[in-house]
Structure 1
Amino acid sequence: MPGDPDEIARRVAAVLEDAWQRLAAQQLAVLSQFADDPRTQHIAATLEEFKQAIRVFFQRVDQEAQQFVQRQLPHLYAAGAQFAAEALNVTFTWTTLHRDAI
């Protein structure tokens, strides 16, 4: 769905910032656990929690990137091509070359 590029960029940045903050909070929790209780079994369990937080982070980033590519990139590509065509005083039409680029 087309949208304002600046608003889209702010939304993507907010999602990624939220994902990063969650990862950073989990990292802080892991480091705090090591400082408070360095028992091996506890450390291993805490590391597993951190690894899970990393997996969730990557899933959220991948999902957001995929949604951007699927929903916004074709619109932004077309808008850029239309702008270039107007600057050259020609008409933009989708071709196989454009579809392959997307």
Structure 2
Amino acid sequence: MAEGFKVDLEALDTAASGITNTLAKLQFKKVSDLDHKKEDIGHDHLADVLGKFCTRWEIGVENLGKDAAQVSQRLNASVKAYAQLEGQIAGHLHGTASSTGGEDPGVK
């Protein structure tokens, strides 16, 4: 016999909120904010390489941010779907119990 499964909606909601909060913080922190001026680095070629690295890194961070936003949206959608289904099942069970006068229909 199958044991079934349980979905921890609070954990899904917490994960989605955590991702959303992290993304909100990231929008104020850009890789391009790293100082890579040639006069500060002290070496022209190294400053150029660091600048190119930061540009590529920023693109990677942006892509990760987009992916994380999708994960958060899908977690939120899952929470909503599970909660809605749980409400429907509870309503159905309440209706079944009410229609039998409060007696367990499995007893008959």
- Cα distance per residue 1:62-90 (max 9 Å; x no partner): 12333443x4333111134356668xx75
Equivalent residues in 2 for 1:46-85, closer than 5 Å: 46-69=54-77, 71-82=78-89
Normalised by the length of structure 2, the TM-score is 0.49
Q: Which residue of 1 aligns with 2:41?
A: none
Q: The residue matched to 2:7 in structure 1 has which SS? A: coil
Q: 1:61 and 1:51 mapped to 2: Cα distance?
A: 15
**Structure 1: runs of 5+ lacking an equivalent:** 92-102
Q: Does 1:17 align with 2:21?
A: yes
Normalised by the length of structure 1, the TM-score is 0.51
Q: 2:33 and 2:9 mapped to 1: Cα distance?
A: 40
Radius of gyration: which is bigger? 2
Runs of 4+ aligned structure 1 residues displaced above 2 Å come to 1-5, 7-11, 18-25, 38-45, 63-69, 71-74, 79-86
Report the Cα offset of residue 22 of structure 1: 4.6
Higher helix share: 1
Report the Cα offset of residue 50 of structure 1: 0.7
Report the Cα offset of residue 56 of structure 1: 0.8
Q: The residue matched to 1:72 in structure 2 has which SS? A: helix
Percent identical among aligned pairs is 2
Report the Cα offset of residue 10 of structure 1: 2.8
Q: The residue matched to 1:13 in structure 2 has which SS? A: helix
Report the Cα offset of residue 2 of structure 1: 2.6
Report the Cα offset of residue 53 of structure 1: 0.4
Q: Quick check: 2:16–2:75 contact (8 Å CA) kept in 1?
A: no
Q: Which residue of 1 aligns with 2:37?
A: 37
